[in-house]
Chain A
Amino acid sequence: MSLQTPLGRVLGKGSAGEGVGHWWLQRVTAIALIPLTVWFAIGLLGHSLQSYEAMRGWLGQPWVAVFTILLVITLSWHSRLGVQVVIEDYVHGKVAKNTLLLLFTFVHVVAAVAAIFAVLLLALS
């Protein structure tokens, strides 16, 4: 059953059906980030940041690496969704909007892959 009006259907207006998914994922990642960021902040500030050996020794541990990778994935996803909303709300030109959306998607993917690869290198080498 569709709640769209017949006119709306003919004109192709109305919901694209994806808004709830975006909204929901923003909340799911937000909830996951609560324990992940608290855990990471406590771990990070508990070590001497200037010491390469200390940071490497901490981030290279199996469970620390796993949860840091989970943090990176969740954080980049949440950030991507948020930046998308900001661009959609404030950039009005079609070309500028789509260019920025594409650009910031790529930036997030590059940063996430780099961060995950870095943690894997620390844990596996």
Chain B
Amino acid sequence: MNQRPLSPHLSVYKFTYTMSLSILHRLTGVAASVGFLVFAWWLMALASGPAAYAAAMRLLSTPVAKLLLAGFTFSIVYHFCNGIRHLVWDTGAGLERAQARRSGAAVIVITLLLTAFLVWAGCAALTRGAP
């Protein structure tokens, strides 16, 4: 009774590309959770005054931090787009294999375009009024 297989037992399935989208939904969700912690820290820095905020923004403007912020942006955008796909599925629509493949491709294209735009806009907002 205790030895029955429990979900998710991924290794028993033949690999399909929609599976990787599903796994990516979890990964980006966890990444966005880390992003939430950074967001809370950033708000606390802003509430702590000009010196604390300037220090936080110096840290966030380093190349490594910018790369991380771009990663958070991608994660949030993907999780947002694929989350809408999941919400549509919850209504019972779009669950046919061909439909799921097509909506998955749409999510990838929209995510890449939106991420590129937001990273560009984010860089502009980071350099605007920089000391």
Q: Using CB atoms and an 8 Å cutoff, list the residues of chain A in contact with chain B.
A: 27, 30-31, 33-34, 37, 41, 44-52, 54-56, 59, 72, 75-76, 79, 82-83, 86, 89, 107, 111-112, 114-115, 117-119, 121-122
Contact = CB atoms under 8 A, between A and B. Distances in A.
A37 B46 contact: no
Contact of B37 (A82, A86, A107): A107
Contact of A50 (B29, B36, B41, B130): B130
Interface residues of B, number: 40
Contacts of A31: 87
Contacts of A50: 57, 61, 126-131
Given A49-B57, A72-B40, A56 B46 contact: yes
A86 B46 contact: no
Please classify the interface of chain A as helix (H, G, I), strand (E, B), loop, or mixed, using the class held by over half of its residues: helix
Interface of B: 7-8, 26, 29-30, 32-33, 36-37, 39-41, 43-44, 46-47, 49-50, 53-54, 57, 61, 76, 80, 83-84, 86-87, 90, 118, 121-122, 124-131
Given A52-B54, A86-B26, 14 more contacts: A27-B87, A37-B80, A41-B118, A45-B118, A46-B125, A48-B125, A49-B126, A50-B130, A82-B33, A89-B7, A114-B43, A115-B43, A117-B44, A119-B43
Given A86-B26, A117-B47, A121-B47, A47 B87 contact: no
A112 B33 CA distance: 12
Contacts of A118: 40, 43-44, 46-47
Contacts of B37: 107, 111
Contacts of A47: 125
B23 to A, nearest CB: 11
Contacts of A114: 40-41, 43-44
